[in-house]
């Protein structure tokens, strides 16, 4: 048997907005880089998930707080930060630019003199035509041993290597040789 009471009571329901908030998003690591350099963009805000964009296109699989970029072109990047608990909310950052700086070409090399006395050669005997770039000289092809004054002996053949470095510090991919 059920009994129905005719008295009523008021029920009060208090609603609380539990929507998570996302603060201002900044991205560090942007700027200008030599072609082929690696840079890491980092989002300043913690989230439950992330989606990185190149321009307006989502980058497939890039869902971490950081984005590692091999700089081969100039592009803009932004990140969407997503919080999911207790409600889903997402916020997009402003775009930041990553600018590619072209590498200089290897310098063209000529000698100023073919008659060099042993022990007296200096790199000023060689002219590097590298436009507005600086030239660094090396004693071996891996370009790890920079030289300023090579030592030569009579009757020996030597090979010197040169790379160009532009005003931005970018180094030519290849090198030129002078034998």
Element of type H or E holding 96:
strand 96-101
Cα-based distances in Å from 73 to 76, 99, 106, 108, 149 = 10, 7, 21, 26, 38
Provide the residue-wise pLDDT of the chain in tens; the chain has 179 residues: 555 556 667 777 666 666 778 888 999 999 999 999 999 999 999 999 999 999 999 999 999 999 999 999 999 999 999 998 888 899 999 999 999 999 988 877 666 555 555 544 445 545 555 566 777 777 777 777 777 655 666 777 777 777 888 889 898 887 777 66
Tokens representing residue 143 in the block? 């370009």
């Amino acid at each position: 048997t059920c009994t129905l009471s005719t008295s009523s009571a008021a029920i009060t329901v208090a609603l609380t907005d539990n929507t998570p908030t996302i603060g201002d998003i900044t991205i560090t690591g942007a700027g200008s880089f030599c072609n082929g350099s690696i840079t890491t963009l980092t989002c300043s805000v913690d989230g439950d998930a992330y989606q990185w964009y190149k321009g307006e296109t989502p980058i497939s699989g890039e869902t971490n707080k950081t984005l590692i970029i091999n700089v081969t072109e100039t592009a803009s990047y932004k990140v969407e930060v997503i919080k999911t608990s207790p409600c889903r909310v997402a916020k997009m950052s402003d775009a930041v630019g990553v600018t590619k700086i072209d590498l200089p070409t290897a310098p063209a090399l000529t000698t100023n003199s073919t008659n060099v006395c042993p022990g007296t050669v200096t790199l000023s005997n060689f002219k590097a035509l590298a436009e507005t770039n600086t030239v660094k000289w090396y004693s071996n092809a891996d370009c790890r041993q920079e030289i300023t004054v090579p030592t030569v002996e009579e009757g020996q053949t030597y090979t010197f290597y040169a790379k160009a470095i532009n005003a931005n510090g970018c180094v030519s991919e290849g090198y030129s040789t002078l034998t």
